[in-house]
Amino acid sequence: MVKTLWTISVTLVLLVGLGIFEHFFVEKQFDELKTALYVLYDKIEDETAQTTDAESVKTLWNKEKENLHVIVPHTNIANIDYWLSEAIGLIETKKFDLALSKVVVLIDMCEQIPDTYGVSFENIF
């Protein structure tokens, strides 16, 4: 009886600990991407963005997503890849107003995806 209670307690502590770690890990990864996207957003808004600026954001994202494939669904990662590629193409063709809307969607995704991994009542039940 004591072993069973001890095992259940240790398991619960491990699950809660891993859930908290997952939350902070995912949030950190997306915060870095979101910061880079805000810089790109400002450059697009000023119409000074170059393809190299967007490519550097893509390089950062490619580095970050290597660690996220284990946790984040592949659909979310593919959606970010898709929107980022569209933004790069629009910057190349100097369609800054359209590129700006793509970056806004990317920033919104960077805010929403980590929320699904937060330790909250909605995510637990």
Q: pLDDT, tens digit, for every residue of 81-108? A: 999 999 999 999 999 999 999 999 999 9
Confidence of residue 122 (pLDDT cuts 50, 70, 90): low
CA-based end-to-end distance of the chain? 28
Q: How far apart are CA 33 and CA 124, in angstroms?
A: 26
Confidence of residue 120 (pLDDT cuts 50, 70, 90): low
- Domain count for the chain: 1
Are 23 and 119 within 8 A, CB to CB?
yes
Q: Which stretches of the chain are DSSP H helices?
A: 2-45, 51-68, 74-92, 96-115, 121-124
Are 96 and 42 within 8 A, CB to CB?
no
**28 domain residue, yes or no:** yes
Name the residue range of residue 68's domain: 2-120
For the entire predicted model, the pTM comes to 0.81
**83 domain residue, yes or no:** yes
**8 domain residue, yes or no:** yes
**125 domain residue, yes or no:** no
Q: How far apart are CA 32 and CA 91, in angstroms?
A: 21
Q: How far apart are CA 59 and CA 61, in angstroms?
A: 5
**81 domain residue, yes or no:** yes
Q: pLDDT value at position 23?
A: 79
Q: pLDDT value at position 90?
A: 95
Q: What is the pLDDT of residues 34-92, one digit of tens each?
A: 999 999 999 999 999 999 999 999 999 999 888 888 888 889 999 999 999 999 999 99
**17 domain residue, yes or no:** yes
Q: How far apart are CA 12 and CA 6, in angstroms?
A: 10
**21 domain residue, yes or no:** yes
